[in-house]
Structure 1
Amino acid sequence: MAWGGGGGGAWGARGGTGVDDWVQRLEANDASLTSLTVLRFRKFGHEQVTALCAALRSNTSLKELYASGHAMTAETAAVVAGMLRENTSLASLCVGSADFGDDGVAALAAGLSRNATLKRLDLENKGVGPAGAAALAESPGGLQELLLARNPRLGDDGVAALAASAALVRGLRLLDLRACGVGARGMAALGSALAASGAPGRRVLLAANALESPDDARSACTALGAALSARSIAHLDLTSCLTSDGVPALVGALSGEVELSLGLSKCGVTEDGCRALGEAVRRGVRFAQLDLSNNAIWPSGVACLARALASSPGVAELDLAGCRGGDDGTDCAEAVAALAAIPQLRRLSLFDNALGCGGAQALAASVAGGGFRDLTTLVVAGNGLSLDDIRGLLRVLCADGAAPTLRSIEVAANPGASDEGIEAVVADVQASRPGLDVAWRATGSADPGSPAPAAPGDGSG
């Protein structure tokens, strides 16, 4: 990897350094130089790009080139395209700034048709519009991952252009269209193209593209549901895309026994939506991951869904963070008991649901009753739990046979986790059940229990 300084790293020294040191290593085909990141303080204009690309034409070691944030004209992009026509090793590329635009993308895309090794192209926040999308669609090369997030000019026309390219759609395994101004027409075109492609298992990220009318939601979700049913999409993120009408439309379009991951955070999910998800499970749908965070469905909607999930192994990872609808923890016993009965549930996040003392007692009772037998990770951070609440729950978890597969419980961001007695409580747990990790220190994230989001691109411009 090229982070700068000595050894195999090469971020580059400060002070406007160019690329001469890297060019020498690339010309020598240095086998240790497999990844190169050009930070913004490096000079990376037309002259530097030309020199670097000349060395890359015959280089067979470099796999990744990341130079986001450096302004690049269409003329310079054409130099990169020329390199791509000859290079046989580069697998991942990110160049340009927010001003790259359609002209830059079109110039770059001209080099893709004769390149079979470039698999990942990151054009997040690069000013891509419909014309740039059309250029990519005409010359998809061997692309498997196309990152176009935060290009609001792309819109329905741009996505429709991408969807019209059977070769591009068939080859992609990851398509990132977050915050691209995509509406119902674009989503419907994409869903229909994916369903017809015959290629399975894609990740499609559509977060932050709002479908505000019920008719829009129905048309888009019907097409996306068909793609999910055809197994053309394995992971679909619709965070902040839908309103309450959208979820029933989406899951109502699911048919057959399919396994998928579905992101529905901030989608206005209601109890009707939870009921529709439950019906999908009864029809044979299984969720590897189901993200319902930040929807006001706790506890009644959750109880409705969990009862359906308890009837079959319907979900492996369930995110219910921030789902409180105004009820306090004393009303959640039914929801907790239903969650505890879900078979093969591995990870459960209840972050920020105001569980309080009643919620902690409900969790403890469910564990004591033999619930959560398949759970490996439980997140109860940010729920107003006192030290006594935490102690009581942990004490039950230390009993023989209690939640036997549990490996991690997160209790940070609770008042009790700041109590001076928490370290002694945790020490007692570690002595009684050394295989259980108790995460009680705040991590600084909004949800201590949420894994760091997979970053398709860094989003710099």
Structure 2
Amino acid sequence: MAWGKPSADGNPAAELISKARTTPSLHILPFRAFGDAECVALFAALRGNRTLTELRASGHALGVVSLQALGALLASGDECAIRHLAIGNASLGGAGQSPTAALVAALRTAPALRKLCLGGNALRDEVAVALGGAMGAVVGAVALGGAMGAVVGAVALGGVPQSVPLSEGAVGALPGMAPTTAPIVPIPAPKVPITASWSSLTELDARSNRLGVAGAAALVRLGAPLLTLSLFDNPAVGGEARDGGRRLADALRVAAPSLHTLDIGACGLDEPAHLAALTEALRDGGAPGLKCLEVFGNGAAEENGSEWREALTALREVRSGLDVAWKEPDTKAQPG
């Protein structure tokens, strides 16, 4: 249900609450008043509401107070039924970056969200990295060389080991477990990736922000059950050092097996080396569930066009069943 027409009594908060009680989907149109007062009232009223599962509030400037109220709702667990949240174009990455800390804190308490739209918020790398940590709860790496308890401790604190290098003596270190007589087979590099997440998020839209390669890579590394990730129109991902392809490739090597669709269109991946790095990552088994890779808006500049197209062909041929979506840019003169 779209909320656009003003109410007769002029009480927007009361009208919002009334609509939210009777509809599974609420779209608050951008021209409606939706400031702190309305946010706080609506989010408080939604606690215990089992009807509203989709809230679209893109185009409204959400401040710290609004985001804190949202966080309190999302943290209420079973009392919150929202599974699809859209807060794009919400001025979250503006001057001072003050709302972003509140955003990260809110999403840290939102393990039940399945779809999240953050597009057009001018979010930078540090926010994406923080979101990756909050939503994926990923611990960088834990060595099991006689320290299995460290893994147990990390998981108890809410973390999930991203990579676990197994070595001799690792298994017998688990408290309360009898020493094993089974042979231990050391596993040399590369490490065994174990990516996971407590989140239910399956779809994340982070298009048209100000992400560089660090932020993009952090989101690619989000754990299961992420299915779809859009990074479209973040041209700084290519990197000033032109290392964006390599760093994205490193992230793909540990991406969740669930990742099905990745949109990295218009991300400044204009060098043949960018595509070559992605090709190697996929050849090495990265993102094993990937079926669609969108690269529209990248490459084929005149100075390296033929080499870029050759790299694109190699990328398309690296894995059976993978659709690499790209087409030649339209260079025809438009009618005046």
With the shorter chain as reference, the TM-score category is 0.5 to 0.7
2:223 is the alignment partner of 1:158: no
2:81 is the alignment partner of 1:89: yes
CA drift of 1:215 comes to: 3.2
1:148 to 179, 189, 206: 206
The residue that corresponds to 2:92 in the other structure is 100
Q: 1: CA distance between counterparts of 2:75 and 2:203? A: 19
- Deviation string 1:172-223 (CA, Å, 9 cap, x unpaired) is 2111111112115344333333333351451111111233333344334443
- Deviation string 1:210-238 (CA, Å, 9 cap, x unpaired) is 3333334433444356567x533211110
SS in structure 1 at match of 2:17: helix
Segments of 4+ moved more than 4 angstroms: 14-17, 224-228, 253-257
2:228 is the alignment partner of 1:170: no
Q: 1: CA distance between counterparts of 2:58 and 2:251? A: 30
- Deviation string 1:156-187 (CA, Å, 9 cap, x unpaired) is 12113334x5xx24332111111112115344
CA contact (8 A) 1:226 1:254 kept: no
With over 3 angstroms needed to count, the CA separation of the structure-2 counterparts of 1:256 and 1:118, relative to structure 1, is: same
Q: 2: CA distance between counterparts of 1:36 and 1:142? A: 21
Q: 1: CA distance between counterparts of 2:91 and 2:202? A: 25
CA contact (8 A) 2:86 2:118 kept: yes
Amino acid at match of 2:133: E
Q: 1: CA distance between counterparts of 2:285 and 2:243? A: 15
2:260 is the alignment partner of 1:202: yes
The residue that corresponds to 1:54 in the other structure is 44
Amino acid at match of 2:129: A
CA drift of 1:138 comes to: 1.3
Amino acid at match of 1:265: K
Q: 2: CA distance between counterparts of 1:35 and 1:112? A: 20
With over 3 angstroms needed to count, the CA separation of the structure-2 counterparts of 1:46 and 1:22, relative to structure 1, is: same
Amino acid at match of 1:112: L
Bigger CA radius of gyration: 1
- Deviation string 1:101-125 (CA, Å, 9 cap, x unpaired) is 1543431232333333211110110
The residue that corresponds to 1:116 in the other structure is 111
1:37 to 12, 16, 27: 27
The residue that corresponds to 2:326 in the other structure is 264
Moved more, 86-95 or 37-46: 86-95
Q: 2: CA distance between counterparts of 1:189 and 1:196? A: 12
Amino acid at match of 2:34: F
Amino acid at match of 1:208: A
CA contact (8 A) 1:120 1:145 kept: yes
The residue that corresponds to 1:382 in the other structure is none
SS in structure 2 at match of 1:110: helix
Q: 2: CA distance between counterparts of 1:214 and 1:194? A: 18
Q: TM-score, normalised by structure 2?
A: 0.66
Moved more, 103-112 or 80-89: 103-112
CA contact (8 A) 2:129 2:214 kept: no
Where does structure 1 lack aligned partners over 5 or more consecutive residues? 4-9, 268-293, 296-321, 323-461
CA drift of 1:240 comes to: 1.6
2:65 to 47, 68, 75: 75
The alignment of Structure 1 onto Structure 2 pairs a total of residues equal to 254
SS in structure 2 at match of 1:90: coil
Q: 1: CA distance between counterparts of 2:44 and 2:264? A: 37
2:233 is the alignment partner of 1:179: yes
CA contact (8 A) 2:226 2:256 kept: no
2:53 is the alignment partner of 1:63: yes
Amino acid at match of 1:63: T
CA drift of 1:58 comes to: 1.4
1:19 to 2, 13, 21: 13
2:193 is the alignment partner of 1:131: no
CA contact (8 A) 2:245 2:275 kept: no
The residue that corresponds to 2:270 in the other structure is 212
CA contact (8 A) 1:103 1:132 kept: no
Aligned identity (percent) is 28
Structure of higher RCO (CA pairs closer than 8 Å, 6+ residues apart): 2
CA contact (8 A) 1:134 1:158 kept: yes
CA contact (8 A) 1:195 1:232 kept: no
Q: 2: CA distance between counterparts of 1:205 and 1:127? A: 18
Where does structure 2 lack aligned partners over 5 or more consecutive residues? 136-198
CA drift of 1:47 comes to: 0.5
- Deviation string 1:359-418 (CA, Å, 9 cap, x unpaired) is xxxxxxxxxxxxxxxxxxxxxxxxxxxxxxxxxxxxxxxxxxxxxxxxxxxxxxxxxxxx
Q: 2: CA distance between counterparts of 1:77 and 1:96? A: 13
- Deviation string 1:135-155 (CA, Å, 9 cap, x unpaired) is 21111132211111111x211
The residue that corresponds to 1:233 in the other structure is 290
With over 3 angstroms needed to count, the CA separation of the structure-2 counterparts of 1:263 and 1:256, relative to structure 1, is: closer
With over 3 angstroms needed to count, the CA separation of the structure-2 counterparts of 1:71 and 1:227, relative to structure 1, is: farther
CA contact (8 A) 1:123 1:149 kept: yes
CA drift of 1:73 comes to: 1.2
Q: 2: CA distance between counterparts of 1:173 and 1:66? A: 20
Amino acid at match of 1:203: T
Q: 2: CA distance between counterparts of 1:50 and 1:242? A: 46
The residue that corresponds to 2:299 in the other structure is 242
